[in-house]
């Protein structure tokens, strides 16, 4: 096998590493009630269990390219893989809360390390004529894997054992290690870079990322600025962000080179990826949430929808790669058409009612699956073509750090809409019923009373009618909230369309852009 073919095999191993670390987060989030029961964890520690992963993931995404250059891609890939596998294997083996928090933080670091590593390895190892296909494969981490997680969560918790939410890394990790060992080329590490390690920037970045992510994830639970902890974390994060920007702007070996944002196509890439991640994460959870809370589906009954999108996006990878690799195709048009597909899917989902079942989502999720791959692959092409070889690690870090942060923002946005709009819809429905909405939450003591004395059988029928009323009330509130979420996503997609119309300029496939260049291959 030629060296070029072996590098593709090694890149496949890194893709599997990114896949297993992404599934570590997504599947454990989907199966959190089962994990809480298995570990003996109450609701409050579970909030921190989720928050620690997201915060450390953002930190890992910022420093991974720097470490990949310093240690070499091959060595760093093995370290990331080992960190992700062993932390996942050990979590089900303990119920010591402090140890669970440490292992979950290691999981988050591994997830943050793996996604940028996939993008960086694509730029470094693939030739210019294959780079578009590698970028399309990288886009699966944001388009395919979140949808795949729902099916795996239902599989492990309902048919196997909750521990396999974490132990699923065993086969994936073994295969990834074999592919990386065989295919990823051995390069010389640059340990001398540790002498110039940006300690000040690292501390500022870690502090800002941890504080702000914790605020976004736990703010609603702790009642925002009525909590002293939220106020303190917001103040610390707000101070660290401008100091971090100043430090990175003047440091000779920074983690982020903010000067790159002065290039239109790169600015478009960072902005559009951030908006796309919000739309992708939010839209991937709404159908499953509806089917579980309103239609009463178990996870294994609703996985068909998410499997449809995951399979479709895998099929779309070579097709989108082929289209974007043609010199007569404008990647801006491909991205805009993908946004149109996403918009159609969200518009269709706004017709959601309480009688929808699984089959009503098929068509609209089909549009979302087609559009997601087109959007992300095209904007990755435009943003990576805007940088030269020496700038690639800074470019990768500056794309993936906001992406990881916007995953947290997507969760915050969903919680915000659910809280504000849920309260509004709840009040309006209760007003139509002529009761106080809080009375509908009072278990066996409803304030709605019969106007006349009732017999025993009449009381039973009356109580049954109240139970049905409460059931319909809660379900209709959920349906209205989810419809509002789809309208919010429509606004995000329209913002994406405005970005693609205003920011980027025409770019060509890498084999044309870099054909006559004297640059070394990334």
Give the pLDDT confidence of 164-201 residue by residue, as tens digits.
888 888 888 899 999 999 888 888 888 888 888 889 99
- Three-state secondary structure of 124-178: HHCCCCCHHHHHHHHCHHHHCHHHHHHHHHHHHHHHCCCCHHHHCHHHHHHHHHH
Mean pLDDT of 426-443: 63
Domain count, the chain: 2
- Considering the domain boundaries, does residue 193 fall inside one? yes
Convert the pLDDT of each residue in 81-99 to its tens digit: 999 999 989 988 888 888 9
- Considering the domain boundaries, does residue 397 fall inside one? yes
Main-chain phi, psi angles of 60, to 5 degrees: -65, -35
Both 244 and 224 in one domain: the answer is yes
- Considering the domain boundaries, does residue 107 fall inside one? yes
CATH of the domain at 174: 1.20.1250.20
Query: Of the candidates 252, 269, 295, which is a domain's last residue?
Result: 252
Percentage with pLDDT > 90 across the chain: 17
Both 213 and 269 in one domain: the answer is no
Token pair, residue 274, equals 């951030």
Q: Report the alpha-carbon angle 98-100-102, nearest 5.
A: 70
Both 407 and 497 in one domain: the answer is yes
Task: Say if residues 403 and 157 touch (Cβ distance below 8 Å).
Answer: no
Rounded distance between C-alpha atoms, residue 160 and residue 168, angstroms:
11
- Considering the domain boundaries, does residue 439 fall inside one? no
Convert the pLDDT of each residue in 139-169 to its tens digit: 887 777 777 777 777 677 777 777 888 888 8
Task: Say if residues 150 and 30 touch (Cβ distance below 8 Å).
Answer: yes
- Considering the domain boundaries, does residue 462 fall inside one? no
Task: Say if residues 308 and 345 touch (Cβ distance below 8 Å).
Answer: no
Instruction: Tell me: pLDDT of 448 over 70.
Output: no
Mean pLDDT of 435-452: 50
Query: Of the candidates 229, 252, 275, which is a domain's last residue?
Result: 252
Both 484 and 502 in one domain: the answer is yes
Both 307 and 386 in one domain: the answer is yes
Percentage with pLDDT > 70 across the chain: 89
Average confidence score pLDDT of the chain: 82
**pLDDT confidence of residue 409:** 87
Both 123 and 241 in one domain: the answer is no
pLDDT band at 438 (very low <50, low <70, confident <90, very high): low
Return the half-sphere exposure (C-beta side, CA atoms, 13 A cut-off) of residue 430. Answer: 17
Main-chain phi, psi angles of 283, to 5 degrees: -70, -25
Specify the residue for token string 């990878």.
Answer: 317
Q: Which residues of 476-506 are buried (b: 16+ CB within 10 A; e: fewer)?
A: bbbbbbbbbbbebbbebbeebbebbeebbee
| Higher per-residue confidence, 322 vs 23 | 322
Both 215 and 303 in one domain: the answer is no
Task: Say if residues 127 and 396 touch (Cβ distance below 8 Å).
Answer: no
Both 480 and 491 in one domain: the answer is yes
| Domain encompassing residue 342 | 3-197+253-422+475-513
Q: Report the alpha-carbon angle 276-278-281, nearest 5.
A: 105
Both 112 and 156 in one domain: the answer is yes
Instruction: Tell me: pLDDT of 205 over 90.
Output: yes
Both 115 and 217 in one domain: the answer is no
Torsion sign across C-alpha atoms 162, 165, 170, 172: positive
């Amino acid at each position: 096998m030629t060296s070029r073919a072996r590098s593709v095999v090694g890149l496949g191993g890194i893709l599997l590493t990114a896949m297993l670390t992404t599934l570590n987060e997504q599947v454990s989030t989907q199966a959190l009630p089962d994990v809480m029961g298995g570990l003996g964890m109450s609701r409050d520690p579970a909030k921190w269990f989720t928050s620690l992963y997201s915060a450390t993931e953002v930190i890992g995404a910022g420093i991974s390219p720097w470490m990949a250059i310093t240690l070499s891609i091959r060595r760093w890939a093995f370290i990331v893989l080992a960190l992700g596998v062993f932390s996942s294997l050990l979590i089900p083996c303990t119920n010591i809360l402090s140890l669970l928090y440490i292992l979950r933080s290691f999981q988050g670091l591994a997830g943050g390390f793996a996604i940028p590593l996939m993008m960086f390895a694509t730029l470094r190892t693939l030739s210019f004529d294959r780079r578009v296909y590698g970028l399309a494969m990288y886009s699966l981490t944001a388009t395919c894997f979140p949808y795949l997680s729902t099916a795996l969560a239902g599989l492990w918790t309902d048919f196997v054992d909750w521990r396999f939410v974490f132990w699923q890394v065993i086969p994936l990790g073994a295969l990834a290690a074999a592919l990386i060992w065989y295919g990823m080329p051995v390069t010389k590490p640059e340990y001398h870079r540790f002498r110039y390690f940006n300690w000040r920037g690292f501390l500022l970045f870690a502090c800002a990322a941890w504080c702000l992510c914790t605020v976004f994830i736990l703010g609603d639970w702790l009642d925002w600025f009525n909590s002293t902890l939220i106020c303190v974390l917001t103040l610390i994060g707000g101070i660290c962000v401008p100091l971090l920007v100043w430090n990175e702007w003047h440091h000779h070996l920074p983690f982020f080179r903010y000067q790159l944002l002065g290039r239109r196509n790169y600015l478009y890439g960072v902005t559009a990826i951030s908006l796309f991640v919000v739309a992708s994460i939010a839209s991937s959870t709404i159908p499953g949430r509806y089917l579980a809370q309103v239609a009463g589906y178990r996870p294994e009954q609703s996985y068909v929808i998410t499997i449809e999108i995951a399979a479709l996006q895998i099929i779309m990878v070579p097709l989108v790669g082929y289209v974007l690799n043609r010199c007569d195709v404008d990647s801006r048009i491909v991205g805009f058409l993908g946004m149109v597909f996403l918009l159609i899917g969200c518009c269709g989902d706004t017709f959601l009612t309480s009688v929808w079942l699984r089959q009503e989502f098929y068509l609209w999720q089909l549009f979302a699956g087609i559009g997601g791959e087109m959007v992300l692959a095209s904007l990755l092409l435009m943003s990576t073509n805007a940088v030269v070889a020496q700038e690639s690690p800074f470019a990768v870090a500056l794309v993936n750090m906001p992406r990881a942060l916007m995953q947290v923002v997507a969760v915050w946005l969903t919680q915000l809409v659910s809280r504000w709009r849920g309260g509004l819809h709840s009040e309006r429905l209760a007003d139509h019923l002529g009761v106080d909405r809080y009375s509908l939450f009072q278990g066996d003591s409803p304030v709605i009373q019969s106007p006349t004395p009732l017999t025993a059988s009449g009381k039973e029928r009356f109580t049954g009618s109240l139970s049905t009323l409460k059931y319909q009330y809660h379900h209709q509130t959920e349906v209205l909230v989810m419809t509002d979420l789809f309208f919010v996503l429509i606004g995000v997609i329209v913002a994406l369309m405005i970005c693609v119309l205003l920011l980027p300029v025409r770019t060509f496939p890498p084999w044309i852009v870099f054909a006559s260049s004297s640059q070394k291959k990334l």
